[in-house]
Amino acid sequence: MKNALIRRGGLMAACLVMFLMTACGSSSSGPVPTATPGEPPTAVPTETPQPTATADPDCRKREVEDWLQASGQHSRGMIMTLNTAVVTPREKIGDVLARINAIRALVDNTKVPGCATESKQAVTALFDIVVTRLTAFRDGQDIDMQALVNDASGLYEVVKLQDAALRKLYLRLPREE
């Protein structure tokens, strides 16, 4: 009995690692457009937008640092929570949505400096696609979870690119007294 539990736990751990790897680095050669019943196809950009963080008089070093920390931490937390949704039964997806919405509230309550608006838009797009599709799944629509993970992974890459550009700007900002 104990060996069966250990094997089952090992299988669950292997599944979780597989889902994390899928979310953190898709091996597909390009974006996969998706469609679900009652939902128009989602156009996934084929080109990665170039990060465009720019200097802004409303851009203070401490605020940029706070935003970068919130953006990175909460986007990663959302992706990890999404990975649990892949193995969560439909009737329990509401719990996953509640966790994702709690994470989103933390992001929404973080001051966004003027030079980080594109980073904020990327984070918002990531949360929007996940919440919209998981809500549809919870409400009975058939959702391709692998496509959702792939799309979210692609948007997460955009978030990371935007944040990388913002980090470069951060390094050029004057120290605050």
CATH classification at residue 139: 1.20.120
Helix axes 117-138, 61-85, angle to 10 degrees: 20
Is residue 37 assigned to a domain? no
Report d(CA 59, CA 108) in Å as an integer: 18
Give the contacts of 33 (CB within 8 A, at least 6 positions apart): 41, 42, 43, 44
Is residue 44 assigned to a domain? no
Is residue 177 assigned to a domain? no
Number of domains in the chain: 1
pLDDT digits (tens, 9 = 90+) for 83-116: 999 899 999 999 999 999 999 999 999 999 999 9
Report d(CA 75, CA 5) in Å as an integer: 33
Is residue 74 assigned to a domain? yes
User: What token pair was written down for 161?
Assistant: 């690119």
Top pLDDT among 54 and 5 is at: 54
Report d(CA 81, CA 127) in Å as an integer: 11
Residue 70 pLDDT greater than 80, yes or no: yes
Is residue 38 assigned to a domain? no
Angle, vertex CA 170, rays to CA 169 and CA 175, nearest 5: 125
Q: Are 93 and 29 spatial neighbours (Cβ–Cβ below 8 Å)?
A: no
Q: What's the rounded mean pLDDT across residues 141-152?
A: 93
Report d(CA 143, CA 137) in Å as an integer: 6
How far, in whole angstroms, is CA 76 from its chain's centroid? 6
Residue 31 — very low, low, confident or very high, per pLDDT cuts 50/70/90?
very low
Domain assignment of residue 114, given as a range: 2-28+53-172
Q: What's the rounded mean pLDDT across residues 155-167?
A: 95
pLDDT of residue 56: 55
Is residue 109 assigned to a domain? yes
Is residue 102 assigned to a domain? yes
Q: What's the rounded mean pLDDT across residues 148-161?
A: 95
Report d(CA 177, CA 171) in Å as an integer: 16
Is residue 34 assigned to a domain? no
